[in-house]
Amino acid sequence: MGNIKEIMDNYIYEDSNCSSDSNCEKIITLFNILEIDISDYNEVSENYIDLTPYYKNKISKILTSYSIKFQSTIFEEFKNEDISKKKKFYDKLNYYKGSHGINKNSVKFDTSKYINDLLKKLFERTINLEELKENYSINLDDIYSKNLNELKNRVRNKYKPYLSTLLKENENKSLIYFNDELETLERKLEKLYSQSINSNKDVKYGNINIDINGNYVKDFTYEDLLSECELDNKEYKIEKSKISVLFNRKTGGGKRGSSSNFSIPRNGEVYGFIGELYVYNILKKEYKNIEWVSSNAKKANIISEGDDSRGFDISYLDNDNKIHYIEVKSTNRDNPVFQISKGEVKFGEQNSDVYDIIFITNVNQKYRKLYRIEKPFKYKKGENFYNNSKFSVENNNFKIVFKLE
């Protein structure tokens, strides 16, 4: 085992990014040839190997690439069912899209079996990925958005503030997907309103003030903001851009340095919403299989529930059926700096070949610019997050500073 340890230590760390998918695949192949498992190696080596993040990421990629087919198949099966089964629809979708716990750190882990078992649980019968409907092209995000807007148009204005309360229940989120159940939701809204009146409680929208496209408007709701952005008929393009370290005495040329004059604006969350909305609408014109997964997608009435912990905002399949992950960063200024979370960095490094950042400057103005920073976390040999030729990292709050080329 000692010789194996020496071989493996050299083999594994030949790649500077030892957590990359390609390196994990090499490890699995070699261990199978040697007829040993991860536990055998970890017993004798100081360099602990954990393949569970690799397996989680691999399963997530597969499920994302089949997402539209899954949605189409399960929607076709549910749409003619009674209301009791329809109420479980959202939970099925959420489980498919959710984070699945994998605790088997072994080269023997079978991802295909795991996915087939998952599908069997969701469909309550044996089915595999290849059996998912090929002839349907149903985008549930579009259906949800369309039906939610129709429900808003059908109900009286005094009921609309109660929608957020209604949609806290998963069974009500489920019914939004089925147009023939909108009448049921109308009755539920009326009941919520009556209960509120009887208890002398009132529900109000959360309002914001925003300067958007040259107009300063007070008391904006996210729905108003959505309408304002939709009125902007300018054709925006996403420019591919290379980045490099911005050398100055504060950042130290790529190393951890002191803080710059960057601060998150008061309306930072709103600017993030605007940026993601524009990017989603641009990409949707070019790609069919696109999913906006963040909480901003819920604010835009695109999905029933968003998730900001996935490490990206938008995913899509290109024309070659290759998956891409997009993280959107927006600023109301034109200086190239933004903050990024540890989770986004971890996910970006793990998926470095298919992870891009779209950076938007002057996001609240009509002269906004969109830059696509390709593979920001794919480093050269010997580089890492804190020391690389692309950007500098300031302090421990993951503030990235760079120069657009």
Residues 215-248: tens digit of each pLDDT: 555 556 677 677 777 667 678 889 998 888 866 5
3 contacts: CB under 8 Å, gap ≥ 6 = none
Helix (H, G, I), strand (E, B) or coil at 373: strand
Considering the domain architecture, whether residues 314 and 342 belong to the same structural domain is answered as yes
Residue in the block written with tokens 């949800």: 144
221: left (phi over 0), alpha (psi -120 to 50) or beta: beta
In this prediction the pTM is: 0.71
Residue in the block written with tokens 């024309």: 319
Radius of gyration of the chain (CA): 24
Considering the domain architecture, whether residues 333 and 260 belong to the same structural domain is answered as yes
Helix and strand numbers, DSSP H then E, in the chain: 16, 13
379 contacts: CB under 8 Å, gap ≥ 6 = 16, 17, 352, 385, 388, 390
Q: Is residue 289 included in any domain, yes or no?
A: yes
Number of domains in the chain: 4
Q: Is residue 214 included in any domain, yes or no?
A: no
Q: Is residue 23 included in any domain, yes or no?
A: yes
141 contacts: CB under 8 Å, gap ≥ 6 = 291, 292, 297, 302, 303
Which parts of the chain register pLDDT below 70?
A: 1-20, 99-100, 133-137, 198-221, 224, 230-231, 233, 246-267, 396-397
Q: Is residue 211 included in any domain, yes or no?
A: no
Q: What is the pLDDT of residue 107?
A: 95
Closest CA to 100 of 132, 54, 60, 51: 60
Q: Is residue 213 included in any domain, yes or no?
A: no
Q: What is the pLDDT of residue 311?
A: 93
Q: Decide: 177 and 144 in contact? Cβ < 8 Å.
A: yes
Strands 243-244 and 290-292: unpaired
Per-residue three-class SS string for 45-106:
CCCCCCCHHHHHHHHHHHHHHCHHHHHHHHHHHHCCCCHHHHCCHHHHHHHHHCCCCCCCCC
Strands 243-244 and 403-404: antiparallel
Q: What is the pLDDT of residue 130?
A: 79
Considering the domain architecture, whether residues 71 and 44 belong to the same structural domain is answered as no
Report how far residue 290's alpha carbon sits from residue 323's, in angstroms, rounded to the nearest whole number: 10
Q: Is residue 9 included in any domain, yes or no?
A: yes
Q: What is the pLDDT of residue 109?
A: 95
Considering the domain architecture, whether residues 179 and 254 belong to the same structural domain is answered as no
Report how far residue 3's alpha carbon sits from residue 341's, in angstroms, rounded to the nearest whole number: 40
- 257-310: pLDDT as tens digits: 444 444 444 567 888 999 999 999 999 989 878 999 999 998 888 888 888 999
Domain coverage including residue 261: 220-404
Tokens of 197: 């009146």
Report how far residue 189's alpha carbon sits from residue 265's, in angstroms, rounded to the nearest whole number: 36
